[in-house]
Homo-oligomer: A and B are copies of this chain.
Amino acid sequence: MKANVTVTLKRGVLDPQGKAIGHALEGLGFDGIGEVRQGKLIEVELAETDRAKAEAALDEMCRKLLANTVIEDYRIEIAE
């Protein structure tokens, strides 16, 4: 089973990397760029075949390692 985990900064948390990308895009001549925010995408392959168990395991992985839940949100999508 494959899963995609996306980890993004919570609204209100400063994102200097996103700001830098926004400025670089403007510097390249792109107009109308609003807020830019950068997050992480983690693709995980699991041996688990039960969808519910896989989701529970991924949720635990996010809380223990993949996301810093003080400043980050995470979203789990089971791909197949």
Contact B38 A42 (CB under 8 A): yes
Q: Mark A1-38, 1 if CB is under 8 A from B, else 0.
A: 00000101000000000100110110010111111111
Q: Mark A27-69, 1 if CB is under 8 A from B, else 0.
A: 0101111111111111111111000000001001100111000
Contact B44 A41 (CB under 8 A): no
Contact B31 A61 (CB under 8 A): no
- Chain B: minimal CB distance from A7 (Å): 8
Contact A31 B43 (CB under 8 A): no
Cα–Cα, bound, A10→B35 (Å)? 27
A37 touches which of B18, B42, B47 (Cβ 8 Å): B42
Contact A45 B34 (CB under 8 A): yes
